[in-house]
Amino acid sequence: MTISTTALSVIVIIATLVATLTPILLIALFIRDWKKGCLW
Amino acid sequence: MTGLDDPILPTSIAWGLLAAFSVLWVVLGWWLGRHNKTAEDHMLAGRNVGLALATATAMATWVTANTTMTAPQLALQLGVWGMLGYSLGALGLILFAPLARRIRELMPAGFTSGDFIRLRYGKFTWRVFLVVSLIYAFGWLVSMAMAGGVLINALAGIDYRVGMTVILTVCVLYTLLGGLRAVIGTDFIQTVIIIAGAAFIAWLTIDKVGFEAIHFNLMEERPELLNLLFPAAIMFLFNNLLFGVGEIFHSNVWWSRAFAFGRNVGFRAYLFGGLLWLPIPIVAGFIALATPALGINVPAADMVGPLVAAEVLGLTGAIVVFIVVFAALASSLDSLLAATSDLVTRDIYRGHIRPHASEQHQFRATKVIVVLLGLVTWLAASYRGELPIVGSLAELLYFTGAFVASAIWPIVAGLYWQRANPQGAAWSMILGSGIGLASYFLIGFYVAALVGAAVSLAVMVLSTWLMPRPFDWGRLARPDGEVPA
């Protein structure tokens, strides 16, 4: 049972998209925590 | 064509990057920890870490050099299941989320995982747990230091001992200066660097090679890598899953964070951290599948990631890989140094040598212990510091699989079963580790964690069923309270 090109590309593109957005999400959370004074 | 005989990054550039990032981490560590006044500040960063830093530190610590280097290696050896199986390591973080909340509720003043075992199960089980936990922590520390030296040598041609010494010294310095606050603060920046770097390389590989070419060339040259019923890969998936859960459930690296995160933060931080960590091994691993399409000759499987990056991106790729690997190494080494020194300070020094040590005394002791840990790790990593030990890094980690998996059920039962038997908890770790190790030698590395967890579960369930011991949860709220014998 071989994975198709489409299935492989869907898995990899979703994973890469999430990974690309993660730093942005973390920085947004950081700014939110900083503004609320709850970084630490 | 790039090969291991030619480092992918010029040594002068590598030294520049090492120097720049070393200064950044040490200065940041000092700055973050400059207001630490007590052992609690130093060990637990004030117990009120917010969601952003908490999520990032959970992710950064779980992204080791293994994730960035071994995920491509597994994709090359085990195909699609190799990278998917590795990404299931995220389940350890996700499953720890409810435990983190429970730990914070039951032990608002706790310091270490050892505190929990001592109060919950008594001194005998505590000592058994400390042996299990310290064997694992030291094994991981030494393997990380060794990986640092090996990777820096392979990427930039810097001598193994020099590279290993630089990375270990930098991590010891900023952990010493800033404690957990420095570790968590640097982890945030390291997480952003690691994930952005891995995603950057993945997008460019997709753009330059394309899925059609990757799939076509794999079908021609290595069709088994696209096989979804690859037996060795499926076996690896289950072993890796249990190993990851065992590592996270018992290790003080994760417990110290559960104590340090603010109220109501731990659950969300571990859940988000796990979900966001899930795609990283796929992103880091997938590029290895492009090797047939790129016509790359891979002389050592664990160097496939840097080789593909250098082939696709040239010097820029080599620089990105070097920075990502340095950040991944530092983010795990610093956490291990901090958490292990806390465990040694609280459970060995204060627990066994100076029971009446004051807060200030512990504050000083934890700093001395970080330095000593660094020295012992350096000695062990230097002694094993010949390049052919790369294979033994994996062997060392799999060896500890029996220990960590045997600690899963005593931890879970201790947190949720009011009648869990303390002697049963000790014997579940002893028998789980012993029989798990026997199976490692008699059957194979891939069953050590599985057998260790199964034996431990059986002992824990049987002992609690036959000899239940009621427990007062309130006792956990007083970490210095009376301890059962």
CATH for B243 = 1.20.1730.10
* Side-chain half-sphere CA neighbours of B63 within 13 A: 38
Structure tokens at B408: 């899963």
Q: Specify the length of chain A in residues.
A: 40
Q: Pick B188's closest partner by Cβ from A9, A30, A38.
A: A30
For residues B41 and B389, give the distance between their C-alpha atoms in angstroms, rounded to a whole number.
Answer: 38
Q: Is B484 within the bounds of a domain?
A: no
Task: State residue B3's pLDDT score.
Answer: 45
How would DSSP label each residue in B214-277? Answer: HHHHHHHH-GGGGBTT-HHHHHHHHHHHHHHHHHHHH-HHHHHHHHHBPTTTHHHHHHHHHHHH
Task: State residue B392's pLDDT score.
Answer: 52
Q: Is B1 within the bounds of a domain?
A: no
Q: Pick B56's closest partner by Cβ from A14, A16, A26.
A: A26
Buried b (16+ CB within 10 A) or exposed e, B373-394: bbeebbebbbebbeeebbeebe
Tell me if A39 and B52 make a contact (CB, 8 A cut-off). yes
Q: Is B387 within the bounds of a domain?
A: yes
Provide the β-strand partners of residue B227.
A2
Give B347's DSSP letter.
Answer: I
Provide the β-strand partners of residue B348.
none
Task: State residue B389's pLDDT score.
Answer: 45
Query: How many Cβ atoms sit within 10 Å of the Cβ of residue B357?
Result: 18
Q: How far is B32 from chain A (nearest CA, A)?
A: 11
Enclosing domain of residue B51: 11-477
Structure tokens at B44: 């637990």
For residues B318 and B40, give the distance between their C-alpha atoms in angstroms, rounded to a whole number.
Answer: 41
- Among all residues of chain A, which has the CA nearest to that of B219? A2
For residues B94 and B277, give the distance between their C-alpha atoms in angstroms, rounded to a whole number.
Answer: 10
- Among all residues of chain B, which has the CA nearest to that of A22? B276
Q: Is B259 within the bounds of a domain?
A: yes
Give B443's DSSP letter.
Answer: T
Task: State residue B223's pLDDT score.
Answer: 85
For residues B463 and B72, give the distance between their C-alpha atoms in angstroms, rounded to a whole number.
Answer: 43
Q: Specify the length of chain B in residues.
A: 485
Using the Cβ of B204 and the Cβ atoms of chain A, whether some distance falls under 8 Å is answered with no
Q: Which amino acid is at B434?
A: G
- Report the residue of B40, B86, B219, B283 to disrupt the A interface, i.e. the one with the largest count of A CBs within 10 Å: B283
pLDDT tens-digit map of A1-40: 888 999 999 999 999 999 999 999 999 999 999 999 999 8
For residues B432 and B404, give the distance between their C-alpha atoms in angstroms, rounded to a whole number.
Answer: 9
Tell me if B192 and A14 make a contact (CB, 8 A cut-off). no
Using the Cβ of B189 and the Cβ atoms of chain A, whether some distance falls under 8 Å is answered with no
Residue A2: φ, ψ to 5°: -105, 140
Q: Is B437 within the bounds of a domain?
A: yes
Task: State residue B435's pLDDT score.
Answer: 95
Q: Is B301 within the bounds of a domain?
A: yes
Give me the tens of pLDDT residue by residue for chain B, a chain 485 residues long: 444 556 778 899 999 999 999 999 999 999 999 988 888 889 999 899 999 999 999 998 888 766 777 788 888 888 888 888 888 889 999 999 999 999 999 999 999 999 999 999 999 999 999 999 998 888 888 888 888 888 888 788 888 899 999 999 999 999 999 999 999 999 999 999 999 998 998 999 999 889 999 999 888 888 888 888 777 667 677 777 878 888 899 899 999 999 999 989 999 999 999 999 999 999 988 888 988 888 887 777 767 877 888 788 788 888 888 898 888 888 889 999 999 999 999 999 999 999 888 888 888 999 999 999 999 999 988 876 454 444 455 566 677 888 889 999 999 999 999 999 999 999 999 999 999 999 988 887 777 888 999 999 999 999 999 999 999 999 998 766 555 55
Task: State residue B110's pLDDT score.
Answer: 92
Task: State residue B66's pLDDT score.
Answer: 65
Tell me if B46 and A40 make a contact (CB, 8 A cut-off). yes
For residues B315 and B298, give the distance between their C-alpha atoms in angstroms, rounded to a whole number.
Answer: 18
Q: Which residue has the tokens 């260790």?
A: B452
Q: Is B6 within the bounds of a domain?
A: no
Q: Is B351 within the bounds of a domain?
A: yes
Tell me if B50 and A39 make a contact (CB, 8 A cut-off). yes
For residues B172 and B412, give the distance between their C-alpha atoms in angstroms, rounded to a whole number.
Answer: 32
Using the Cβ of A10 and the Cβ atoms of chain B, whether some distance falls under 8 Å is answered with no
Task: State residue B440's pLDDT score.
Answer: 86
Q: Which of left, alpha, beta for B444 (phi over 0: left; psi -120 to 50: alpha)? A: left
- Among all residues of chain A, which has the CA nearest to that of B49? A40
Residue B79: φ, ψ to 5°: 75, -150
Residues B258, B103 contacting (CB under 8 angstroms) = yes
Kindly tell me the sign of the dihedral angle through the C-alpha atoms of B30, B33, B39, B45: negative
Residues of chain B contacting A33 with CB distance shorter than 8 Å = 50-53
What is the total count of domains within chain B? 1
Strand segments (E) across B104-180: none
Task: State residue B387's pLDDT score.
Answer: 44
Task: State residue B431's pLDDT score.
Answer: 97
pTM, entire model: 0.90
